[in-house]
Amino acid sequence: MFRGFVLGVVATIIVILVLGFAAVQLGLIPVNADASPGRLETWAAGTALDAALRREAQGSNPVELTDDNLVAGVKLYGRYCAVCHGTAKGVSAASPVAKGLYPRPPQFATHGVEDDPESFSFWKIKHGIRWTGMPSWESALNDQQIWTLALFLKHMDKLPSAAQEVWQTVTN
């Protein structure tokens, strides 16, 4: 009786593996980017990311909140990020790259991350986000530059006029 049960479990696992393998080989897994992520996919990726951030994203921003540092953050953003995350115009001016990515990158002037701890933004910028178009910037930017970007993202809805002026000139 126990032997039968074990064989049943093993047979079920084998059938699932064979079906999974067949689905991959026969082209039944959706691989197109012109779609919106489904609920299961969004839940699994989002929950995994949140859990990893809670475990790994630490530290407070060593870059001081000054006009100069915010301007530096805007400039870095304009150079490296605006193509995907947009300008001061937000969603209405999303670039062709942003419109075609799966999942879509948030346009920060519309859907900002001011609520997120800066350590979370730092982690995401440094390491990137797997299964999305969000690159890791570790090889292009140093920690100081990444914290400067995190500072700008934290304060982008309440920029002092010096930084606001530069922000209005950023194009994608």
Whole-angstrom distance, CA of residue 118 vs CA of residue 149: 9
Q: Which is nearer to ligand HEC, 41 or 165 (CB)?
A: 41
Whole-angstrom distance, CA of residue 18 vs CA of residue 20: 5
Q: Which residue has the tokens 């530069």?
A: 166
Residues 76-115 that bind ligand HEC (CB under 6 A): 80-81, 83-85, 101, 103, 105-106, 113
Q: How far is the CB of 85 from ligand HEC (least distance, A)?
A: 5
Q: Which stretch binds ligand HEC (CB under 6 A): 12-20, 28-36, 86-94, 122-130?
A: 122-130
Q: Which is nearer to ligand HEC, 1 or 31 (CB)?
A: 31
Q: How far is the CB of 64 from ligand HEC (least distance, A)?
A: 19
124 neighbors 45 (Cβ within 8 angstroms): no
Q: How far is the CB of 147 from ligand HEC (least distance, A)?
A: 11
Among 134, 151, 163, 166, binds ligand HEC (CB under 6 A): 134
Residue 151 in the binding site for ligand HEC (CB under 6 A): no
Backbone phi, psi, residue 62, to 5°: -80, -10
Radius of gyration of the chain (CA): 21
Closest CA to 33 of 85, 97, 94, 84: 97
Instruction: Identify the three-state secondary structure at position 29.
Output: coil
Instruction: Identify the three-state secondary structure at position 84.
Output: helix
Which positions lie near ligand HEC, rule CB under 6 A? 80-81, 83-85, 101, 103, 105-106, 113, 121, 124-125, 129, 132-135, 137, 149, 153
